[in-house]
Amino acid sequence: MGSREGLRERGIQRGSRLVRDLATEWHGLRLAAGVSQKELARALGISRETYSRIERGKTPAVTVARAAAITAILGSELSVKTYPIGQPIRDKGQLAVLERFEQPLAPTWRVTHEAPMSVPGDLRAWDVRLDGPVSIGIEAETRPYDLQALERRMHLKERDSGVRRMLLLVPSTDRNRALLRSALPMMRRTFPLATREVMRALRDGNDPGAYGIVVL
């Protein structure tokens, strides 16, 4: 499910399932409130037939605004949030920096793309995992912005994948270099190694010895 089409299809299926679940809840709330479909439809400004289709889960493209309105009229409040479950699509910049990173690696490293976690059913993955003298999880970020949140996510992946080292890989752009300079005192506590030290070790087929930030 790593392709654009696969991710899109997974999202559509998830959306349809959520709408059906909401429809079941609305049906129960409406009956508990003693409200007819006609009364509810009038409050929404739609026909009874349209609402009936919504409540039967036959209208998969229900907007968030309409879902919130139905829920509010029935005396409840709709809550929507997102949470990470897997890898997003890769952009060209990410693919390019991964290629630059992998090109000089010693042949002793086994390279795995989209390397999964050790937890069954967990859809998260390292962008690249290296296995050799040590196991290394690599997170490639084209335009990192919240470095503290990124570091927390990487530590969770480290815990759930069993790797011994972590590397943050970013393209060498003015924007990224400025961001890293501003956060360097904080980041160096976790990622003490710089690009040259990390890449020298990986080219020689050696364990870098610590976590690092690679800017290429």
- Tell me the two tokens of residue 16: 């349809």
CB atoms within 10 A of CB 27: 15
Task: Round to the nearest angstrom and report the end-to-end CA distance of the chain.
Answer: 28
Q: What is the mean pLDDT of residues 42-57?
A: 93
| Domains of the chain by start residue, with CATH | 4-73 (1.10.260.40), 92-215 (3.40.1350)
Look up residue 210 and give its amino acid: A
* pLDDT value at residue 78: 94
Q: What is the mean pLDDT of residues 179-200?
A: 92
| All residues at 6 or more sequence positions from 163 whose CB lies less than 8 Å from its CB, including other chains | 126, 129, 135, 136, 137, 157
| All residues at 6 or more sequence positions from 50 whose CB lies less than 8 Å from its CB, including other chains | 41, 59
pLDDT category of residue 11 using cuts at 50, 70 and 90:
confident
List, in sequence order, the alpha helices (H) in the chain. Answer: 4-33, 37-44, 48-55, 64-73, 92-102, 147-161, 174-187, 195-203
Q: What percent of the chain has pLDDT over 70?
A: 94
- Report the alpha-carbon distance of residue 23 to residue 55 in Å, rounded: 5
167 touches 139 (CB < 8 A): yes
The structure's pTM equals 0.66
pLDDT in tens, 109-153: 999 998 989 888 888 889 999 999 999 999 999 998 889 899 999
216 touches 101 (CB < 8 A): yes
191 touches 211 (CB < 8 A): yes
pLDDT in tens, 62-82: 899 999 999 999 999 999 888
* Strands of the 110-116 sheet, one edge to the other: 110-116, 125-131, 135-140, 165-170, 212-215
Beta bridge partners of 168: 139, 213
